[in-house]
Amino acid sequence: MARRFSGPSDLHLHSDHSDGTEPPADVVASAHAAGLRTIALTDHDTTSGWAEAAESTGSLGMTFLPGMELSARHEWRSVHVLAYLFDPDATELRALIDRIRSSRLTRAREMAERIGRDLDLTWDDVLGQTATGATVGRPHLADALVAKGHVRDRGEAFAGILSPGSDYYVALYAPDPVTAVAAVTEAGGVPIIAHPAGRAGLLPGPVVEGMLAAGLAGFELGHRENREPGLGELRELVRRRDLIVTGSSDYHGLGKPNLPGEHTTSDEMVARIIDRGTGSAPVFA
């Protein structure tokens, strides 16, 4: 068993390589200040923050797990697949990531254009809120709307202008959850469904079974968005099938109220993830 790390562990953190507001080094420093000793960086659809994060965890005596939150979609609901210890160069996963990222760009431009017909907002305003090379998303549109004084914060933007029911909304391409889980598995990674019991409720049973057959390792049961009764059902499922259970903050810097370490993952579960991942290696302290 891999035991060369120590807790507490938070395996779901975002930097400005996607929709967090801090560079990876600052995310690591925030996590360290919160008392965490093992972390994973899980930016949406990118691995570009790994090197900086690993350098920072190294200098602070922490353990780093390479991770990502891969976008997927079942019908109209978005599904987030946390992926750990995968090979970032694996062909199929690489192709999925490239397609998602290119769709994210087209989609964000289209949304900015639609909004710009009614409000003072340009694509340049959105780019001004997006770190170079970052995975662009609605949070960056939200930040541009805040900067222009159209809304108070990201929450208000998501509740109105950027909501799926809005005329400004454009969907992004995302693979179905089974395809996403299979690609992570194929890349030697450990796929875990993020915030699986959120407001939209649980995914249908057949989709869950399909994901498990494709290599799904477990569920992020410790997350502020999970709620009953779905959470109870998943607790029962993970117990019956002996799946991995994680708990994490989903920290986004100032982009969300979530704080590092507000949920954590047990040493036993971190060890199971490390034992199962074969596509890339943890960076031990």
**Exposed, middle or buried, 205 (CB in 10 Å: 0-12/13-18/19+)?**
exposed
Cα 220 from Cα 263, distance rounded (Å): 10
Q: Of Zn ion, ligand AMP, Fe ion, none, which one sits near residue 177, judging by CB under 5 to 8 A according to partner kind?
A: none
Q: Which residue is nearest to Zn ion (CB)?
A: 250
- Identity at 62, one-letter amino acid code: M
Quick one: which of 73, 101, 138, 272 contacts ligand AMP (CB under 6 A)? 138
Cis check for the bond before 260: say yes or no (omega within 30 of 0): no
Cα 175 from Cα 92, distance rounded (Å): 12
Query: By C-beta, is 67 or 139 nearer to ligand AMP?
Result: 139
Interface stretch with ligand AMP, choices 82-90, 152-160, 190-198, 214-222 (CB under 6 A): 152-160
For ligand AMP (CB under 6 A), the number of binding residues is: 11
Interface stretch with ligand AMP, choices 53-61, 151-159, 237-245, 269-277 (CB under 6 A): 151-159
Query: By C-beta, is 52 or 250 nearer to Zn ion?
Result: 250
Residues 255-274 that bind ligand AMP (CB under 6 A): 255-256
Query: How many other CB atoms are found less than 10 A from the CB of residue 4?
Result: 11
Sign of CA dihedral 164, 165, 171, 176: positive
Query: By C-beta, is 35 or 133 nearer to Fe ion?
Result: 133
**Longest CA–CA separation in the chain, Å:** 58
Query: By C-beta, is 103 or 266 nearer to ligand AMP?
Result: 103
Minimum distance of ligand AMP from residue 44's CB (angstroms): 6
Please report whether residue 250 would count as binding Zn ion according to CB under 5 A.
yes
Q: Taking CB under 5 A as the rule, which mask of x and - marks residues 67-96 in contact with Zn ion?
A: --x---------------------------
Please report whether residue 143 would count as binding Zn ion according to CB under 5 A.
no
Q: Are strands 38-41 and 63-74 parallel, antiparallel or unpaired?
A: parallel
Of 224, 225, 228, whose CA–CA distance to 261 is shortest? 224
Q: Three-state DSSP class for 144?
A: helix
Please report whether residue 52 would count as binding Zn ion according to CB under 5 A.
no
Please report whether residue 201 would count as binding ligand AMP according to CB under 6 A.
no
Minimum distance of Fe ion from residue 256's CB (angstroms): 8
Angle value at C-alpha 165, between 228 and 13, nearest 5 degrees: 55
Cα 258 from Cα 252, distance rounded (Å): 7
Query: By C-beta, is 14 or 37 nearer to ligand AMP?
Result: 14
Cα 236 from Cα 119, distance rounded (Å): 48
Q: Which residues bind ligand AMP (CB under 6 A)?
A: 19, 44, 137-139, 154-155, 158, 252, 255-256
Q: Which residues bind Zn ion (CB under 5 A)?
A: 69, 250
Q: Which residues bind Fe ion (CB under 5 A)?
A: 19, 80, 194
